[in-house]
Structure 1
C-alpha cells in the first residue's frame, strides 16, 4: 500500500496526471509484487491508509516528503466519488421511521419495513434500517464513510426523507432533528474507520438513554430490546404482512398497526424518541461553531400539510428547504391517481413556502395514469412558468410500477402502460430545455433496483441519456437548467465571471435570481432574493393572527413570518468542491462570491423600497451572516437597509 502512495507522489511531483485508470494499474502491479488479491489495493483503501500513517506513524509520513500543496493534489486523486461534494457541501440523507400515511396514492410502493413510498433496498433506506432509523447513528455512520472517502465534512446538508413530516408527532420531530445536530456536534473521525463520540459526563443521565448515549451504547440498546440485527432478520419479521400488502389484503396503515404496535420493540423505544425545543436550540447553538456544521436542512411533506403553523415549526427546527410532492398540476390526473390534493392547495403551499423564505423542491412525475406525453410536457411548462408555482428545484421522475402498488391492477387491466424509451427521452429533453435559469433538476430517477420495477424505466443512467441528447443539439448553450450548467468540480477564474440578474414574477413576490456566470454559460454561484407583495403580506398577517393554530405555533417573534417592508434572501450557494472551513483554494467558494451576491441583493432590495433584509440562514451559516452585518431576529437573521 505504501508503494502505491509513493508512486502516486512521484507522478504528481513530475507534473503527470493520475486518474482512476492509472490507480488501477498501480494496484494490479502491487498485487503481483506481493502475490495478494488485487482487491486489497483498491482505491477505497488508499485514503484510510494514508490518514492512518499520517496520524499514527508521523516519522514514516514525514519521510514521504508531502508538502501542503502536494497533499492537496494527493487527496484529490484518492477522493472517492468527487461529485458527492461538488456542489460545495457534503450531503447526508437520513430516513425517518415507518409511520402511518395520510394518503394512499395509486402508484405508491407499500414496503412495511419503510416509511410509505420507500423501499428497503434503496441505498439511504438500507443504511437507515441497519441503524434502526436512529438519526444519530445514521449521521455518524455517514460522516465516517464520507471522511474515509476524502470528502470535507465541515459543511453538511441534511436531507430528512420518509413519510409526510407533519404526520409525525411533534415530540418525535424535535427529537429526530435534535439527534442529527447532536451527532454532528459530537463526531470525531478516527483513522481506523470507527468514530469517537464526545465523552459523556457523569451527569449525562442513564447510560442507555437515547439522547445521552454514544453510538456503541445505542446499538447495544437496540439489541437488548430485541430489534432485528440485519436485513434478513428485518425481512423475516415483516414477511407475512408484506405478502398481505402485495396481495392488497390490507392497507399500509393496517399493516403498520400490527407490525409496529403494542408489544413490538418499536413501541418500547418510542417513549425515548421525544425532545424539547429547549434541548434542540442548545444543540443548534453548539453547531454554530462545531466542526461539522449544518448549512442546509431539508424535510419532506405534502402540499395539503403546509400552513403557517407547520412552517413555523419546521423553521424553528432549522429547516431551510422543503421537498414537496406535486406529481402533477392536472387535477384530472391527480384524481385518477388518488392523490387527494387540490391544485388550489398546491398553489397556496408554494406561496406560503416562498414568503416564509424556504427553498422549494418540487417532485413531479411523468407517465402517471391518465396522462399522455403531450399533457406531461404542458404540465411541466405550467409548473416552471405558472405564476403560483416556479419551484427552485425539481425531482422529475418517470412513473414506474413497483410490485404491490395498486397501480398494478390498472397495468394488468391495460389501463396504464409505461412510455417507450424514445417517448420518455423526448419528454425529458423537452422539459430540461424548457427549464428556466433559476431552476435545478436534481434527479431523474428513484434509487429503485431494476428487480423491484415491474414496468417502467430501469436505466440508472437516464439523466446521462437525456444530457447526451441535449448536447447533440445545435444550440446546447440555450439550455439554462442549473445542474446542466454548474461548474461542479472545476476550478473558477474570477476574472472570467460576470454577475447576471434574472427577474421573474410570482403570484405573491417579485423574484431576483442573481448568478455568477462563467464562460460557456457555466454557473459558479447564485442567490435567490424575494421581494414580497405588500398586499399579500398584509392579508397573510391578518389571516394568521385570526387562525387558532397561530397560538400553538410557538413563534416567539409574532404570528406573521415577515413584516411589510422586509425582503428575503432564500438561498445563497457557491459551487466548487467542498473544502475545510477557513481553508484556501481555487474553487468558486474561496473568491468572496457569496459576500458580493449578498451586497448586490441588498442594493436591489433597497432600490426597490424595502427597509430590511431577512435571510433564512441555516444553523451552521449564522456566523457567516453575522460577519455580513445580519443580526438574529426571530426565525431569521436580518439587517437594516439604510
Structure 2
C-alpha cells in the first residue's frame, strides 16, 4: 500500500498524467511485485490506508512530505465515486420501517419486508433492513462509508424514503427525525472492520468491505451505535450473536405472506397485519420509538454548528396527503424538499392505474408546496397501463410546463413489472406491455427536451435489480442511452442535471448571471442561475413571489384549522400524547402577505468542508451573490420581507447574511 501511495505522490509532484487507468496499472504492478491478490491492493483500500497512517502513525506520514495542496490532489485521486458529492453535498438516504399504505396503485411492488413500493434488494433498502430500519444506525453506516470513500461529510442532504410519510404515526415521525439529527451530531463514524453492523455498508452491493486485518481494524464502535444495538437486542430485533444479520424484524410468516401477495390472494396491508401484528419484537421497539418536539428541536439546535450539518432534508408523500397543516408539521421537523408521487397528470391514466388521486389534488399540492417554500421533487412514470408513447410525451409536456405543475426536480422513469404488483394480471391478459427499447428511449429523449431550464431530471430508473423485473427496462445505463441520443441530435438540452458542472473546476470570472422567469397558479417564479458561456450551470436560486390572494387564502385556512384543533384539544381534556399535541399547540408563524420566499440556493462543485476554500464553484461567494440579487428583485417587486426555507445546518449561514429566525423560516427585512 505504502509503495503505491509513494508512486502516486511522485507522479503528482512531477505532473505526470494520473487517471483511473494509470492507477489500475500501478495497483496490478504492485500486486505482482508482492506476489499477492490484486484485490488486496484495490483502490477502495488505498484511502482507508492513507487515513490510518495519517491518524495513527504521524511520523510515518510526515516522511511522505505531503503539503496541504498535494494532499488535496492526492485525495482527489483516491476518492471513490466522486459524483456522489459533485452536487456540492453528500447525500444519505434512509428508509422508514414497513407500514400500511393508504394507496393501492396497480404498478406498485409489495415486498412485505419493506415499506410499500420498495424492494429488499434495492441498495438503500438492504442497508436499512440490516440496521433494523433504525435511523441512527443507517446514518452512522453511511457516514462511515462516505468518509472511507474520501467524501466531505460536513454538508449532508438527508433523504427519507418509505412511501407516504404522513401515513406513519406522528410520534414515530418525530422520533425518526430526532435520531437522524442525533447520529450526525454524535459524529457516529465507525471503523468498518470493527463494526459488524456497518461492515456491509462500506460500498454498495457487490463490493468487499475493508479487511478485518486492515488499517481500520482497531477503530472503535461509536457509543451511540453500541447503545442502539443493545436496545435492539433487548427487544429481540437483533441478535447479539449475529448483529450483522437481524432476522427477528421479519418473522417466518413473512415468506408465506409474500407468496399470497404475489399470487393476488392478499393485499400488502392484510399481509402487514398478519406478519407484524403479533410480532412482540416489533411491538416492543415501537413502544420506545417516540420523541417529543422539544427533543427534536434540541438536536436541531445542536446541528446548527455540528461537524455534519443538515443542509437539506427530504421526505416522501402523496399529493392527497398534502394539506397546510401537514406541511406546517413537516416543516417544523426540518424538511426543505418534498418528494411526491405524481406519475401522470392525465385523469384517465391515473384512474386506470388505481392511483385514487384527482388531477386537481395534484395541482393544489403543488400550489401549497410553493407557498410554503418547499422544493418540489415529483415522480413521473411513462408506460403506465393505458398510456401510449405519444400520449406520454404530451402528458409530460403538460406536467413540465403548465402553470399548475412545473416541478423543480423530477424522477422520470418507465413503469416496470414486479411480480408482487397488481399489474401482473394486466400483463398476463395482454392489456399492458412494456415499450421496446428504442420506443422507450425515444419517449424519454423527447421528455428531456421538453424539460425547462429550472427543472432537474434526477433519475431515470429505480434501483430494482434485473432479477426482480418481470417485464420492462432492465438496462442500468438507460440514462446514458438517452443522453447519447440527445447529444447525437444536437438539440439544445435545458434541464439542470445535463448542464451541471459536476466535478469540473470553474473560474467565477467565466460565469454570467441569468434570470429565467415563469408563472405558476399561485406565484411568480424567478430562477436565478450562474452559467458558463456553454450554458453549463454552476449555481442557482429559486425565488418565489407569491400572489397576495393565494397567501391570504392560505392564512385563513391555517387559522380555521388551528381553531378546530384547539376545540378538539379542549374537548379531549388533558389526555392524549403530551409530547406531540402540547408542543405542537405553540404558535408558529408561517407565511404572510408581502413576503417573498427563497426556496432553494444551490452552488455546484465537489463538496468542500465548511469553512474551507475550494477550486470548484463553491466558496467563491456565488451563493451570497444570488441571495443579494434575489433580495433586490423581491424589493423591486414591492415585497417588504423575504423568507428562506433554510435547512437546520444552514441557519448560521443565513444569519450572517442578515436573516433572523422567524417561525418556520428565517426572514430578512427588505
Q: TM-score per shorter chain, which class?
A: over 0.9
- 1:592 aligned residue: 621
| d(CA) in 1 for partners of 2:154, 2:53 | 22
* TM-score of the two chains, using structure 1 as the length reference: 0.95
Contact residue 538 and residue 605 of structure 2 kept, 8 A: yes
Q: Deviation of residue 388 (structure 1)?
A: 1.0
- 2:327 aligned residue: 311
Contact residue 251 and residue 279 of structure 2 kept, 8 A: no
- 2:522 aligned residue: 508
Task: Mark the runs of 5 or more structure 1 residues left unpaired by the alignment.
Answer: 197-211
Q: Would the alpha carbon gap of residues 239 and 493 (structure 1) be closer, same or farther in structure 2, given more than 3 Å must change?
A: same
| d(CA) in 2 for partners of 1:328, 1:74 | 47
Stretch of structure 1 that moved more, 24-33 or 44-53: 24-33
| d(CA) in 2 for partners of 1:539, 1:424 | 42
Task: Please list the CA deviations of residues 200-230 of structure 1 after superposition, one character each: whole Å capped at 9, or x if unmatched.
Answer: xxxxxxxxxxxx9721232233234332656
Task: Please list the CA deviations of residues 157-177 of structure 1 after superposition, one character each: whole Å capped at 9, or x if unmatched.
Answer: 000000200010110000000
Task: Please list the CA deviations of residues 47-88 of structure 1 after superposition, one character each: whole Å capped at 9, or x if unmatched.
Answer: 000000001001100000111110000000000000000000
- 1:452 aligned residue: 468
Matched position secondary structure for 2:325: helix
- 1:205 aligned residue: none
Say whether residues 1:176 and 2:176 are aligned partners.
yes
- 1:544 aligned residue: 558
Say whether residues 1:564 and 2:597 are aligned partners.
no
| d(CA) in 2 for partners of 1:393, 1:263 | 39
| d(CA) in 2 for partners of 1:232, 1:469 | 45
| d(CA) in 1 for partners of 2:440, 2:358 | 26
- 1:535 aligned residue: 549
Say whether residues 1:227 and 2:227 are aligned partners.
no
Task: Please list the CA deviations of residues 568-613 of structure 1 after superposition, one character each: whole Å capped at 9, or x if unmatched.
Answer: 0000000000011111111100110000000000000000000000
Task: Please list the CA deviations of residues 424-471 of structure 1 after superposition, one character each: whole Å capped at 9, or x if unmatched.
Answer: 111100010110000000000000000000000000000000001001
**1:273-288 alignment to 2 at 5 Å?**
273-288=289-304
Contact residue 189 and residue 195 of structure 1 kept, 8 A: no
Q: Would the alpha carbon gap of residues 270 and 556 (structure 1) be closer, same or farther in structure 2, given more than 3 Å must change?
A: closer
Say whether residues 1:418 and 2:428 are aligned partners.
no
Q: Would the alpha carbon gap of residues 193 and 520 (structure 1) be closer, same or farther in structure 2, given more than 3 Å must change?
A: farther
Matched position secondary structure for 2:288: coil
Say whether residues 1:524 and 2:556 are aligned partners.
no
- 2:227 aligned residue: 217
| d(CA) in 2 for partners of 1:569, 1:528 | 6
- 2:502 aligned residue: 488
Say whether residues 1:574 and 2:603 are aligned partners.
yes
Runs of 4+ displaced beyond 6 Å: 552-557
Stretch of structure 1 that moved more, 84-93 or 239-248: 239-248
| d(CA) in 2 for partners of 1:557, 1:567 | 24
| d(CA) in 1 for partners of 2:49, 2:465 | 33
Q: Would the alpha carbon gap of residues 506 and 172 (structure 1) be closer, same or farther in structure 2, given more than 3 Å must change?
A: same
Task: Please list the CA deviations of residues 349-384 of structure 1 after superposition, one character each: whole Å capped at 9, or x if unmatched.
Answer: 000000000000000000000111111111101111
Q: Deviation of residue 235 (structure 1)?
A: 8.5
Matched position secondary structure for 1:300: strand
| d(CA) in 1 for partners of 2:273, 2:190 | 41
Contact residue 156 and residue 292 of structure 1 kept, 8 A: yes
- 1:342 aligned residue: 358
Q: Deviation of residue 268 (structure 1)?
A: 1.2
Contact residue 106 and residue 407 of structure 1 kept, 8 A: yes
| d(CA) in 2 for partners of 1:271, 1:486 | 45
| d(CA) in 1 for partners of 2:227, 2:237 | 14
- 1:136 aligned residue: 136
Task: Please list the CA deviations of residues 311-361 of structure 1 after superposition, one character each: whole Å capped at 9, or x if unmatched.
Answer: 001000000000000001011010001101011111110000000000000
Stretch of structure 1 that moved more, 219-228 or 631-640: 219-228
Say whether residues 1:637 and 2:666 are aligned partners.
yes
Stretch of structure 1 that moved more, 333-342 or 218-227: 218-227
Contact residue 556 and residue 634 of structure 1 kept, 8 A: no
Stretch of structure 1 that moved more, 234-243 or 115-124: 234-243
Q: Deviation of residue 488 (structure 1)?
A: 0.4
Matched position secondary structure for 1:363: strand
Matched position secondary structure for 1:609: coil
| d(CA) in 1 for partners of 2:551, 2:133 | 39
| d(CA) in 2 for partners of 1:557, 1:568 | 23
Matched position secondary structure for 1:304: helix
- 2:271 aligned residue: 255
Q: Would the alpha carbon gap of residues 242 and 191 (structure 1) be closer, same or farther in structure 2, given more than 3 Å must change?
A: closer
- 1:111 aligned residue: 111
Q: Deviation of residue 189 (structure 1)?
A: 3.9
Contact residue 309 and residue 549 of structure 1 kept, 8 A: no
- 1:404 aligned residue: 420
**1:348-497 alignment to 2 at 5 Å?**
348-475=364-491, 478-497=492-511
Q: Would the alpha carbon gap of residues 193 and 14 (structure 1) be closer, same or farther in structure 2, given more than 3 Å must change?
A: farther
| d(CA) in 1 for partners of 2:586, 2:387 | 45
| d(CA) in 2 for partners of 1:195, 1:518 | 45
Matched position secondary structure for 1:121: coil
Task: Please list the CA deviations of residues 182-212 of structure 1 after superposition, one character each: whole Å capped at 9, or x if unmatched.
Answer: 000001545666589xxxxxxxxxxxxxxx9
**1:322-333 alignment to 2 at 5 Å?**
322-333=338-349
Contact residue 557 and residue 635 of structure 1 kept, 8 A: no
Q: Deviation of residue 236 (structure 1)?
A: 5.2
Matched position secondary structure for 2:128: helix
**1:27-38 alignment to 2 at 5 Å?**
27-38=27-38
- 2:254 aligned residue: 238
| d(CA) in 1 for partners of 2:100, 2:585 | 31
| d(CA) in 2 for partners of 1:25, 1:405 | 47
Matched position secondary structure for 2:467: coil
Q: Deviation of residue 248 (structure 1)?
A: 1.3
**1:29-68 alignment to 2 at 5 Å?**
29-68=29-68
- 1:297 aligned residue: 313
Q: Deviation of residue 17 (structure 1)?
A: 2.5
RMSD: 1.8
| d(CA) in 1 for partners of 2:349, 2:106 | 11
| d(CA) in 2 for partners of 1:257, 1:631 | 47
| d(CA) in 2 for partners of 1:532, 1:306 | 19
**1:599-638 alignment to 2 at 5 Å?**
599-638=628-667
| d(CA) in 2 for partners of 1:190, 1:105 | 40
| d(CA) in 1 for partners of 2:190, 2:72 | 20
Contact residue 545 and residue 560 of structure 1 kept, 8 A: no
